[in-house]
Each structure stands twice: as C-alpha cells, then as structure tokens.
Structure 1
Amino acid sequence: MAATHGEGTAPDSPGPEYIELESTPLVGEPRDVLAGAREPDSPTIDLALSGTVFFDIVLTGLAAPPASGTEVDAEGMGSCPGGVANLAVAASRLGLRTAVSAAFGEDVYGDFSWETLAHQEMVDLSASLRVPDWHSPFTVSLAYRGDRSMVTHEHPPPTPLEEMAQQLPHARAAFIGLSAEGDIPDWALSQSAHGAMLFADVGWDVTQEWSSSVLRQLRHCHAFVPNAIEAMSYTRTGSPTSALAALAEHVPVAVVTDGPRGALAVDQTTGESSEVEGLVMESIDTTGAGDVFGAAFVVGTLAEWPLEQRLRFANLCAALSVQHTGGSLSAPGWADIAAWWGRLHAGHRDTDRRLLRDYGFLADLVPMPWLPTEQRRASATIGLRH
C-alpha cells in the first residue's frame, strides 16, 4: 500500500471532502486475505506479471476530444505508471504480494514509475531492469463522456521482456495478455509448470479479424477475463451469455465483463455459474478499470471465495477505481472498500439495503467501525513538492 502525507477521512463523515472525486484515495491497514494459506514452503509471490510500464498522463473532464487545429480544456489531470502497472498496483493494494518484470528508462519518467511501484506500492521489481539511454514508454490518455482515447510512444527495450520475465519468482498466479501474433510466453508456461494459475485477458484487435488462435491459447489457462465485445467477437456470438458458453469450452473459468451492466462467469472447477449486476458510480476516468477487475478476481480466486462473491468484489473494485484519475493509482485498497461499506450502513435508501445484502460478505473482510491511518496514497502527479 502506498502512502504520502495527508489526512484520512472517516467513512461516516458526510462532508464534501469525503465525496470529492479528485481527492487522493484513502489508506488503511493492509489486509492479507491469504494469511491463512501461507505455509513455509508456499511461493513468496502471489502474482507474477510481465509487460510494459508506460508513463501515463491522463486528462479528464473533456467535453470532446480535440479536433484538428483546436484546443480544449481539461478539468483534471494526473500522472502515474500505466500498462502492466495497472494490474500490479491493483493487486498489491488488495494485499497480494506482486512481482513485475519490465524495463524502466533512466529518465525522469522511469525514476517516477520505479519509485512509485517499488517504494510506494510495494511491488517486487527484482526481475525488472533500469535501461540507460532508453526513453521510457509514454501515453497520453484523454477521458471524456465515460470513454477515453490514447496516444502512445514507445521503443522496444534492448533486453527482450521474455528474457527478463524468466527471472520472476515462482508465484501462486500469473496474469498475461493474449495476442493473435504469438503464443503463451515461455515465462508464463514455466510459472504454470511450477503450480501457478494462469489468468488471461486480451487487448483490442485493431485488425478486426479476431483470430481463433487466441482461443487455442486458452488450453494453458485457468481463467479468461475478456470484456463483452471481445468475448462476442472472438466466439462469433451475438450476446455475452452465448459468448460465455462458447468460452467455457476452452477454459476452466470463463468470465465476461460488461461494464456497468455487470459480469457473468462459469467456474467448471467448482461447478458454479453466476451473473451479477454492475455498480454504477460517478466516473471521471475509466482507464484501468478492467485491470482492477482482473486483479480483484485473482484475489478472490486465490482466497477460494464463491464465484458470485468474486464477481461482486471485482465489480466493486472496478467501480471505485473510476472515481479517481489514472489507471494504476486509482485502484482501491481495503480502506476505500471499507469506506464504501460504511456509507452503505449510513444510508437509508432501498438501494443501500439491497447492496448491504448482496455485499454482506464484506462484513468479514473490512473492520467496522473503520478508522483510517494518517496517510493517503500516492498522488497521481509527478514531482509534486510539498
């Protein structure tokens, strides 16, 4: 859990400072949901990741993207590590011991991303490299009307990611992105051979071909977590339900996310199936919400929660993340979850009472009453002087 100086706000404080969307997310005591499963010979790492860490600049509150030759105002902005850092921070803030293999330039962007991940978010970077004379990957994200557009600049690192990732410690789980251009990376297969569960998602196919080679790669995976459009496109089906049924023929645990409409899943290892509605919260930036969902689903799976609980927990974490700027540093921790849970107890609407029933499992996961620490997490900005 990362922390910078600041003041916490108790969940029963109804003042405007509590609901301010651009405020820095809260920090509370770390929670280890896997504490009861840790044995002396257990893996020291819970989740292994490899990929590109981008330096993200996120601009929010645009009425529309800028047209050629025009200038538009942004109501907010933030800077934070992006790319694979989104998953890493989300998992770490939920208590997973997380390791990342990535290249970091020896520039200001790389310094900021390394310091944020290693020292503020407690992510293990022992399998990562600092690269001199190499420009850190860079992305500008424009958030508007509940969606976003991105501009990215990057160069391949001089040391291939696959080579770096072989240095990752053995983990309970690994999360990978599938691609039509390749196969499951060797480092992930090595993790699987040592007992790791492989979780996978897939990026947008710019070719619109939706190659069946992606589905063939699922034979190596424990779980697949695409969004509804991706799931329907790869399975050539016309609804999320049909897509889920098709995916279940390829992978033990199939999950289809559908934004504010919720998520549905089948877990053939337990015989469960579930569909849960989404949580709609005021949004300023959707960047990284899918990564937050994926990290939270990994947490619930490793903790052996029922499928419905895993889906609801992942939905909640993703919904909380869109209330803050930036993909990685918007990810909620247990303090944010406890604060939301406290708000439900203070509410009197029918919706609050229904959510109290649906999310009753949180009573065993977050303390009531909850008290924050005297710290807040890292702000989504670079080089801010206090």
Structure 2
Amino acid sequence: MTGIADVHEGASPQQLDLFLTGPLFFDIIFTGLHADPQPGTETMADGMGSLPGGVANMAVAAARLGLRTGLAAGFGDDAYGQWNWELLQDREGIDLSRSQVLPGWHSPVTVSINRRDDRSMVTHTDEMPVSTSELVGATPPDARAYFVDLGDAAAYTEGETPWWAAAKQQGALVFADLGWDDSGEWDPHTLDRLDGCHSFLPNHVEAMAYTSTSSPEAALHALADRVPLAVVTLGAQGAMAIDQITGEEARVASVPVNMLDATGAGDVFAAAMITGTLNSWPLVDRLNFATLCAGLAVQNFGGSLGSPGWSDLAQWRAEVLQQTQHDDAAHALLQRFSFIDCLLKRDAPASRRARATIDFMH
C-alpha cells in the first residue's frame, strides 16, 4: 500500500494535490439544547462554536490529512469573512490565491441547532457578485484532483463548458457533488453534469432521488454507469462504493462514536476518500478510512475544525489498542483498521487546532 507520505511523489513543488470550489459560510453551531426552540421562549444550549463552513469543511479536512490544498471561494468584506480568511490561510495552511474578498458583500451565515441526533439550520446568503469561473480564472491551477459542486449556480451554467473540463483533459481527477435539490424535482438529467467526472459522492437519499431508484444499492449501480468511482454514504450505516477502474466493490460499516455535531461529516468523508484515491489504496481501505475520519469529526464542533489530522488518528489507534485486552469489539475494530499502521509509524505532526470561536483576546 502507498502511504500518505508518498502522496506528493512525482508532483511538482507548485502542484496542488486538491483544488476546491464552492460556497463558503460562517457557521454558528449550538449543541445540547435543553428543549426544542418555541416561539416566545428562550432555550439554553450546552455548547456553541463558530467556524468556517461550506466548502471550508472539505478544504480543512484535506489539509489536515497532508494534501496540498487550494480553494477558490468568495469571502465577505466583514469581520466574519476576515476571520474565515485568516483561519484558513494562516492557521490551516490552505492556498487562497484564487479566492477573493468581495467589497460590500455580506458573508453567508448558517446557524445549526443540534438536538436528539438531528439538526436544523437557518441560513442567510446574498448572491455572490462574481462567478466561480471568474474566481478560478482562465487557467485553473495545476492540481492532481479537483472537487466541484455541480449544484452551485455560480460554478456551473447549462450549455457552457465547465471551468474544470480543460484540467480534466490533463489527467487530473474530478470529484463532484450535486447536493440537495431544494426544488424537489430531482431531475435525472441533472446527472448529465457528471460527464467527465471521475467520482460522485452523494448520500443515499440524494442518490436514490437523482436515479429514481428504491434502494441505495440500486442507486449505486445506476451511478456506476456514469462515473468510474461511484460512492454512496449511508449515514450511521456506513458507506459503499464501486470502482469501475479497479473492478472493486465494497461496503463498510460506520465507526461507533459519541456524536456531538454532524455538520460537515460528509465533507470530511469526501476529503478522506480523495486522499485514499490519490494514494491508490484498495477500495475497502478508502471507505474504511473515510468513515473513520468522518466518525472522529462528529465528536467535535463542525466539519472543518472537527476534522482529524494524523496525530488524532494515531491517538484514536492507541486508545483502541488499550481497550483490546478486555473488549472483543475493540479487537475487531483494531483488525479492521490494521491497514493504517504503516501510515502511523512515522512521526505524526500535531494537528493545527484553531479554536471554534471568534478569537479570544491574548
């Protein structure tokens, strides 16, 4: 197996491993509500965090797993946008050379309220004054992989050649998502946007709706006819995938964790799946690695700042190892993830850990 230390092998010093585009948000997350919010009442929460959201979830997760990561996004010209920029560039090491601060534009904001293993969200956003293509520029940055949100109106216009098409012709892998269809139409022709993409990573509800199928398994096989790597996430039930290039098909269970906040878990999963694909891991190992990273992320606030780095994975491995002496389930878990042992033998750098709040005074 190729280790994470080899992910840059053969790449030029200027080449990115992953370049992403998509909407960026300032997320405010409340956890542990004592009661459901009701009109005319005040509800207390046990926990609260503020952090970059949207496409930032995947960007941070990828950077913490060692991928050289670049991001093209619009940042609001306000305190939220300034904090997002500083955190992503200075603290998480993400290349923002294709991003812009947009004068007079209000940062999109989402408030996520978590209660009883579910969440509700309230979002405010104004239309971004520039398109994603304008942010990316005439020539996309050199990267081994791209992630695109095909449901982002600013990134994809029907009838026009998408900005990433030329990059794909140069051998880069394009990973794509479509997201939730607010219209409720779930037009199957929307999947035509996947033409030229390497991978599609929807959740099972989205996958069944877009393919007009009645089971996640049927949806997966329908999507495998459209992209070389089809992946369907199953929430608490794990994930499954078909890789037409290698001929592999696999399904894995989720990792048992104490969930605090599920925001961005799918983005963390995708970042880990991209990491494994760039390393040419077997499909089952890629799925297991992605479910593990997503599982560790939901134990913290948000998908971005909650995403694990290699030191977090090493700590998890050590904790499971300690439990194996008196816990058969832990022993089975250790065997399932034995493939990451060779990755964790090297010195794992401490993860960058920006606080999940607007900065404290120092």
Moved more, 344-353 or 180-189: 180-189
CA RMSD of aligned residues (A): 2.0
**Greater CA drift, 292-301 or 355-364:** 355-364
Deviates more, 1:40-49 or 1:76-85: 40-49
Partner of 1:21: none
1:365 aligns with 2:343: yes
**CA distance in 2 between partners of 1:67 and 1:124 (Å):** 42
Contact 2:188/2:212 (CA < 8 Å) preserved in 1?
Answer: no
Percent identity, aligned pairs only, is 48
Matched, 1:250 2:226: yes
Give the Cα–Cα distance (whole angstroms) in 2 for the partners of residues 52 and 40 of structure 1.
Answer: 28
Letter in 1 for 2:107: S
Which residue number corresponds to residue 150 of structure 2? 178
Tell me how far 1:234 sits from its aligned partner. Answer: 1.2
Q: Which amino acid aligns with 1:353?
A: H
C-alpha deviation, 1:34, in angstroms: 5.3
1:15 equivalent in structure 2? none
Q: How far does the alpha carbon of each residue in 1:313-370 deviate from its partner, in whole angstroms, 9 at most, with x for none?
A: 00000000000012311111111111111111111311111011110011111138x7
Most deviating of 214-223 and 117-126: 214-223
1:28 corresponds in structure 2 to none
Aligned to 1:354: 332
| One of 267, 280, 291 as aligned partner of 1:315 | 291
Q: Offset of 1:59 from its aligned partner?
A: 0.8
User: Whose relative contact order is higher, 1 or 2, with alpha carbons under 8 Å and at least 6 apart?
Assistant: 1
Residue 324 of structure 1 aligns to a residue in which SS?
Answer: coil
2:310 is matched with: 334
Distance in 1 (CA, whole Å) between partners of 2:11 and 2:68 is 15
Structure 2 counterpart of 1:133, one-letter code? G
Give, in whole Å, the separation in 2 of the partners of 1:288 and 1:185. 29
Instruction: Tell me which of 45, 48, 73 is aligned to 2:19.
Output: 48
Give 5+ residue unaligned stretches, structure 2.
none
Q: CA deviation at 1:95?
A: 0.5
- Cα gap change, 1:372/1:300 in structure 2, threshold over 3 Å: closer, same or farther? closer
The alpha-carbon deviation at position 106 of structure 1 amounts to 2.6
C-alpha distance 188-64 of structure 1, shift in aligned 2 (>3 A): farther
CA contact (8 A) 1:341 1:362 kept: no
Q: Which residue of 2 aligns with 1:60?
A: 31
Quick one: structure 1 residues 82 and 308, their matched pair in 2 at CA, closer, same or farther if it must change by over 3 Å? Answer: same
Instruction: Measure the CA separation in 2 of the matches of 1:133 and 1:33.
Output: 41
Tell me which residue corresponds to 1:235: 211
Runs in 1 of length 4+ with deviation above 6 angstroms? none
The structure 1 residue matched to 2:275, chosen from 295, 299, 310, is: 299
Task: Summarize deviations over 1:115-165 as a string: whole Å, max 9, x none.
Answer: 000000000000011222221111111111122111111222322222112
Equivalenced residues, count: 353
1:281 to partner: Cα distance:
0.7
Please state how far the C-alpha of 1:376 moved relative to its aligned partner: 5.6
| 1:279–1:36 Cα change, 3 Å | closer
For the 8 Å contact 1:34–1:303, the answer to whether it is kept is no
The 1:355/1:282 distance shift into structure 2, 3 A limit, reads same
SS of 2:175's equivalent in the other structure is strand
What does residue 97 of structure 2 align with?
Answer: 126
Q: 1:135 to 1:37 in 2, by over 3 A?
A: closer
TM-score of the superposition, structure 1-length normalised? 0.86
Runs of 5+ consecutive residues of structure 1 not aligned to the other structure: 1-31
